Amino acid sequence: MLASSPSPSQTALRSPHQTGAHYETTPQFNSPRSSRLAIEELRSALNRHTVDPASPVSPADLRRRTSVATAASVTLTPKLALANSSTSPTAAYTLASAAANPPPATSTTSSMPAPDTPGSNKRTSPTDYHAPNATSAQDVQPSQAKRRRPSKAEIKILPVQYEDADPRDLVVLISSMLLELISFNDKIPLNQGRLTRFHSRSPPRISVQDYMQRLTTHATLSPPILLSMVYYIDRLCAFYPAFTVSSLTIHRFLITSATVASKGLSDSFWTNKTYARVGGISMTELAMLELEFLFRTQWRIVPQPEVLEDYYKSLVERCDGYEIDRTAPVDDDSAPTTTAATPS
């Protein structure tokens, strides 16, 4: 009678020492529970060798940990294959491939914001998390004061009659006109290189307005005298073409015209010594300039009142910030007067 072959169940129950087969001492995982234990063991080994992206790790440590994790996965792959060999070879191959190429570890704290430490290289983005009570730099900086708008220049009202005008206002008007003439005439070369007695070697350091204010204050120049000085500019340029109002001639012209106008229009005037001291020149030079001036103007030094009034209006119109009072009533002395007839 032939010996019956052992059944698979009996073969499985036999000890490896009885059959003579050479197996590893690794225990067999034939039950589903043993398979789950092997998978959990593989996952725990992978989690132990996973690098946390938030922790600062040097490149050398990262390479060492990667090599250790790879070796552990390769070591555990045969065990996993033996554990699933009783089920199907396809499942064993799938688990072995998963062990060789583990999926990227997902951390539950990846969605949370990383702490802003001085050593972190975290880049800021519009989606970053911000504390609700954080104050921006714009809130910390104090608000800048608003720039004030430039106030409009006040217009000064001058009287209709030039005799009632303030001499200081006339000084501003006349000096403004003279500065324009000087800036224009300084660009023109001398007429055939000819010099006049009014030319200086170099421009004086005092300005035109300050010099006129000095003459008006210390020589008591009235408004008619100041307007006559403007009238003399046209007279002298008309009869003496070599003369031009420039930075070299204006100061000597002003002291000479002030001396001549004071003597020609005023009943009381100062001596040449006072005018020379106020003007900053010697008495001899002032006398020579006065005589030259009278000869060049042909001794016509008294202008008409209507001419001075025209000069006054022209100066006010060409200068900003000044206007003549148009609302003031005009005295009319020539108005006829009527008288009531008395009964006889």
- In three-state secondary structure terms, 138 is helix
d(Cα 281, Cα 285) in Å, to the nearest integer? 7
- The model's confidence at residue 256, banded by pLDDT at 50, 70 and 90, is very high
Are 193 and 310 part of one and the same domain? yes
Residues 6 or more apart from 100 whose CB is under 8 A from it? 73, 74, 77
Cα–Cα distance measured from residue 52 to residue 55, given in angstroms and rounded to the nearest whole number: 6
Structure tokens at 285: 């030079």
Specify which of 108-117, 149-158, 174-183 reaches the highest per-range mean pLDDT: 174-183
| Amino acid at site 204 | P
Residue 71, classified by CB atoms within 10 Å of its CB into exposed (0-12), middle (13-18) or buried (19+), is: exposed
pLDDT exceeds cutoff 50 at 92: no
The pLDDT of 25-37, averaged and rounded, is: 62
Q: What is the pLDDT of residue 190?
A: 74
Position 60 scores a pLDDT of: 62
At 226, which amino acid appears?
L
Q: 88 and 184: one domain?
A: no
- DSSP, collapsed to helix, strand or coil, labels residue 326 as coil
| Residues 228-253: tens digit of each pLDDT | 999 999 999 999 988 999 999 999 99
Element (H, E) at 313: helix 305-318
pLDDT at 49 over 70: no
**Is the residue at 243 inside a domain?**
yes
Q: Which residues share a beta bridge with 156? A: 322
Mean pLDDT of the chain: 73
Q: Do 75 and 190 share a domain, yes or no? A: no
Is the domain of 161 the same as that of 91? Answer: no
Residue 147 lies in a domain: no
Asked if residue 168 and residue 55 are part of one domain, the reply reads: no
CB distance 190 to 250 below 8 Å: no
Co-location of 160 and 300 in the same domain: yes
Distance CA 260, CA 279 (A): 13
Mean pLDDT of 123-138: 50
Rounded CA gap, 93 and 338, in Å? 139
Highest mean pLDDT among 190-199, 284-293, 332-341: 284-293
Residue-number span of the structural domain to which 66 is assigned = 27-100
Structure confidence by residue, pLDDT tens digits, 200-231 = 999 999 999 999 999 999 999 999 999 999 99
Which stretches of 54-188 are assigned E, i.e. beta strand? 156-158
Looking at the structure, do residues 50 and 189 belong to the same domain, yes or no? no
Type of residue numbered 118: P
Q: Please list the residues that pair with 323 across neighbouring strands.
A: 157
pLDDT at 262 over 80: yes
Verify that 91 and 186 share a domain, yes or no. no
What's the domain count of the chain?
2
pLDDT at 55: 52
In this structure, the number of other CB atoms found within 10 A of the CB of residue 57 comes to: 13
Closest C-alpha among 258, 278, 273 to residue 214: 278
Interval 60-81 mean pLDDT: 54
What would the mean pLDDT of 97-122 be, rounded to a whole number? Answer: 49
pLDDT category at 47 given cuts 50, 70, 90 is confident
CATH number of the domain residue 269 falls in:
1.10.472.10
Same domain, 186 and 285: yes
> Which of 24, 9, 128, 164 is closest to 81 using CA atoms?
24
Q: State the average pLDDT over residues 66-81.
A: 51
pLDDT band at 255 (very low <50, low <70, confident <90, very high): very high
Note the pLDDT tens digit of each residue in 293-321. Answer: 999 999 999 999 999 999 999 999 998 88
Say which residues have a Cβ less than 8 Å from residue 172's Cβ, sequence separation at least 6. Answer: 209, 319
